[in-house]
Amino acid sequence: MKVQRKDMCPQLLERYNAEREASLQCILTGDESWVHYYDPECIAQSIEYRHKTSPSPRKFKVVASARKILFTVFWDMEGVVHMEFLEQGQTVNSERYISTLRALKLRLRRVRHDKDSILQHDNARPHTSRQTHHALRQLELTTLPHPAHSPDLAPSDYYLFPQLKKYQKGHHYDNDEEVIADVRRWCRGQSSEFFADGVRQLVKRWRLCVDRNGYYVEK
């Protein structure tokens, strides 16, 4: 059954009004994003150097976009709980995502001491398949309803990934290991307040969604 934005946001706000911060502390949000070997800071940087007799220059980003790694992260108001990086040539399917969920469950036991957590993830096919739903029940992972096509209500999309990409602007990486090490270093360098701020912004976005009768919330 599809979740409607205009129905979900009032319910979440009602819970927040009753429980306040406690209703946010249990949210465990997760998502995936591509991390590039190089993302230029400006247009000038994105132009490859060419001799005056060379063909018309092309943007370096076209080349860089072919060199990337998929970053998967789950986090809450305290910080990152679990992160993974997809090997070159692999894809995220139901089997792979279930493996990730199992690793996430182990991490929750270790770093959150089985604190009650409600998983928030989007409606990508690997997240909503029958196999994944079965695995979620087995792992006793409760999920938070999330409408389709709603990155504006997903903290990773509107907060964490933009902050990470802003930091990485202009950085060069030669291989996957360098990308992974820098992303891990950046995530571990953020304070708990940084992550808490990202989750707290959900309240404002839920309210805007209600005020706009379910329409998309701009940045």
pLDDT at residue 6 above 70? yes
Furthest-apart CA atoms within the chain: distance in Å: 69
- Tokens 């092309």 map to which residue? 58
**E runs forming strands in the chain:** 27-36, 68-76, 79-85, 118-120, 142-143
- What is the predicted pLDDT for the residue at 219? 58
As a whole number, mean pLDDT of residues 145-162 equals: 92
- What is the predicted pLDDT for the residue at 66? 57
Contact 12, 18 (CB under 8 A): no
214 vs 164, more confident: 164
- What is the predicted pLDDT for the residue at 105? 95
- What is the predicted pLDDT for the residue at 54? 47
d(CA 160, CA 157): 7
What is the average pLDDT score of the chain? Answer: 86
Q: In what order do the strands lie in the sheet with 142-143?
A: 79-85, 68-76, 27-36, 118-120, 142-143
- What is the predicted pLDDT for the residue at 50? 42
- What is the predicted pLDDT for the residue at 32? 95
Q: Which pLDDT tens digit goes with each residue over 178-213?
A: 999 999 999 999 999 999 999 999 999 999 988 988
- What is the predicted pLDDT for the residue at 82? 97
- What is the predicted pLDDT for the residue at 42? 52
d(CA 113, CA 111): 6
pTM of the model: 0.85
- What is the predicted pLDDT for the residue at 14? 93
As a whole number, mean pLDDT of residues 11-22 equals: 93
- Write the CATH number of the domain with boundaries 5-211: 3.30.420.10
- What is the predicted pLDDT for the residue at 74? 98
Q: Which pLDDT tens digit goes with each residue over 70-116?
A: 999 999 999 999 999 997 777 889 999 999 999 999 999 999 987 88
As a whole number, mean pLDDT of residues 136-155 equals: 91
Q: Where are the domains of the chain?
A: 5-211
Contact 30, 75 (CB under 8 A): yes
pLDDT at residue 36 above 70? yes
Nearest to 190 by CA among 158, 148, 161, 212: 161
Q: Which pLDDT tens digit goes with each residue over 47-77?
A: 443 444 445 544 444 454 458 999 999 999 9
Split at pLDDT 50, 70, 90, the class of 2 is low
